[in-house]
Amino acid sequence: MRGVVFPGNRKIEYLEVPDPTPGPLDVVIEMKASGMCGTDLQNYRRPLDQPAYMPSLIGRPPIAGHEPAGIVCAVGSAVPAQLARVGQRVMVHHYQGCNACAHCRTGWQQLCRNVQPMVRVYGNNDDGGHAPYLKVPANTVVTLPDSLSFEAGAAIACGTGTAYQALRRMHLSAADTIAIFGQGPVGLSATQFARAMNARVIAIDTNEQRLEHARRLGADVAFAPSGDGDVAEAILELTGGQGVDKSLETSGAASARSAAIRAAKTWGTCCFVGEGGEVRINVSPELLRRQMTVMGSWTFSTTGQAECAAFVAAKGLDVGQLYTHRWTLDRAEEAYRLFDQGVGGKGVFLL
C-alpha cells in the first residue's frame, strides 16, 4: 500500500509499504476517513536539517494521519470479541502507553510515564491513517455509532473530541456564557458543542470566514479584535461589565490567552487547549483577587472519545459542517499546501 509521509520542507512523499497484518493483540482497520490536524503542520513545515516533531519509533518515516476512522478488517488471535470484531465501525484513540499504569488503565494512555523513549502516537512516531490500512493495538479502537459518518469519527478522534473534553472539564451548562478564542477546527467544534449545551456563545477570531462559519454553527456573537481595541474589554461590554462565566482558548496565542483570563468574571473559569507558547499573568489582580480557576486540557481518554461520539449522535449534530475540504490521498500535496496557507477550514481524506 501507499501512505503519505512528511519528509520536511513542506514536501509530501508517498511511501510503499506492505499491507499490515495484525499481531496477536492488534487489529487492522480499512481506512474510510483520515482527518488533517494543525499538529500535522509541525512535521510538514520543519526544515530538512531539523528533527521531526516526534522521532520515529519504527526505523523509517511514519505514515501521517492521527485522526483515523474506518472498519475493522482483521483481528489478532488474542483479541477478545468484546474488544474488537471484523466489520466493526471504529475510531482510533491514537496513543499507546504501557497499558499497566493508572493513566493507561483509565484510558489516558497519552499521560503514561512508563514507556521509553515516549508514548506511541499513531500518525506521528508510528504509522497513522493516511493510507488504505492501519494496524493498531485493539485497545485503541473506539466504536463509532452507526448514525455517525466516518468523517465525523475522524473529527472526534482529535480536534472535536478535544473541544468536547474541555467543555466537560469546565462543567459548561445552559446557565453559562462562554467566550471561545480561535475558530479553527477545535474552536468551531467547541462553538457547535457549547451551543448544543444551550450556553450563550461568543466567538473570537481574526479571520472573517471562520467567524461566519462560527455563526452558522450557532455562535450568538462572533467578532474579530479591532486594531486598537482590547478583546477582553469588548467582551466585558457584551456582558454588562461582568465578564463571561467560562472562556476557552484554542489558538495558543499569548495575547488570546491573556484576554481569555481577563474576559472571565470573578469566580470564572478559563481553559487553555491551544498548544505551545507562553503567557504572562499578573497574578494578584487577574487570578487571586478574582478567585479565578485556570486549567489546561489535553485531548481526551478512550471513554471521553466514546462519550463525545454518543453526545454527537444523541444531539443529532452535523459534525461534517466543520469540513470545508474533502480529498483523496492522491491529492495530499495540494491538500497540505492549502492547509499550510490557511485556506478554508478543516480537511479530511476519504478513502
Task: For residues 148 and 44, give the distance between their C-alpha atoms in angstroms, rounded to a whole number.
Answer: 30
In contact, 256 and 262? CB cutoff 8 Å: no
Q: What is the pTM of this model?
A: 0.96
In this predicted structure, what is the pLDDT of residue 343? 75
Sorted by where each begins, the domain ranges of the chain are 2-158+300-350, 163-296
Contact 121, 94 (CB under 8 A): yes
DSSP code per residue over 71-102: EEEEE-TT--TTT--TT-EEEE--EE--SSSH
- What confidence score (pLDDT) does residue 345 get? 80
Q: How far apart are CA 349 and CA 331, in angstroms?
A: 9
- Edge to edge, the sheet with strand 244-249 lists 221-223, 200-204, 177-181, 244-249, 264-272, 293-296
Pair 218, 191: CB distance under 8 Å: yes
pLDDT at 228: 59
Angstrom distance (rounded) from CA 269 to CA 167:
11
Q: Which SS3 state, helix, strand or coil, does residue 55 take?
A: coil
Contact 32, 26 (CB under 8 A): no
Question: Is the four-CA dihedral 160, 39, 170, 182 of positive or negative sign?
Answer: negative
Per-residue pLDDT of the chain (351 residues; tens, 9 = 90+): 999 999 999 999 999 999 999 999 999 999 999 999 988 999 999 998 888 888 999 999 999 999 999 999 999 999 999 999 999 999 999 999 999 999 999 999 999 999 988 999 999 999 999 999 999 999 999 999 999 999 999 999 999 999 999 999 999 999 999 999 999 999 999 999 999 999 999 999 999 999 999 999 999 999 998 865 699 999 999 999 999 999 999 999 999 999 999 999 999 999 999 988 899 999 999 999 999 999 999 999 999 999 999 999 999 999 999 999 999 999 999 999 999 998 778 999 999
Alpha helix segments (H runs only) across 122-253: 150-156, 159-169, 185-196, 208-216, 231-238
Q: Is the peptide bond before 137 cis (omega within 30 degrees of 0)?
A: no
Cα–Cα distances in Å, from 302 out to 94, 120, 139, 141, 339? 9, 15, 9, 8, 28
pLDDT at 117: 87
2-158+300-350 CATH pick, 3.90.180.10, 3.30.2270.10, 3.10.350.10, 3.20.10.10 = 3.90.180.10
Looking at residue 69, its pLDDT comes to: 98
pLDDT digits (tens, 9 = 90+) for 11-53: 999 999 999 999 999 999 999 999 999 889 999 999 988 888 8
Rounded to whole angstroms, how far apart are CA atoms 245 and 269?
7
Q: Which three cell numbers stand for residue 5?
A: 509521509
Report pLDDT for 51. Answer: 85
Q: For residue 333, what pLDDT is reported?
A: 97
Q: Which amino acid is at 141?
A: V
Q: What is the pLDDT of residue 227?
A: 67
Quickly name the fold that domain 163-296 has. Answer: Rossmann fold (3.40.50)
CB contact at 8 A, 202 and 260: no
Cβ atoms of 315 and 194 closer than 8 Å: no
pLDDT at 305: 98
What pLDDT score was predicted for residue 342? Answer: 82
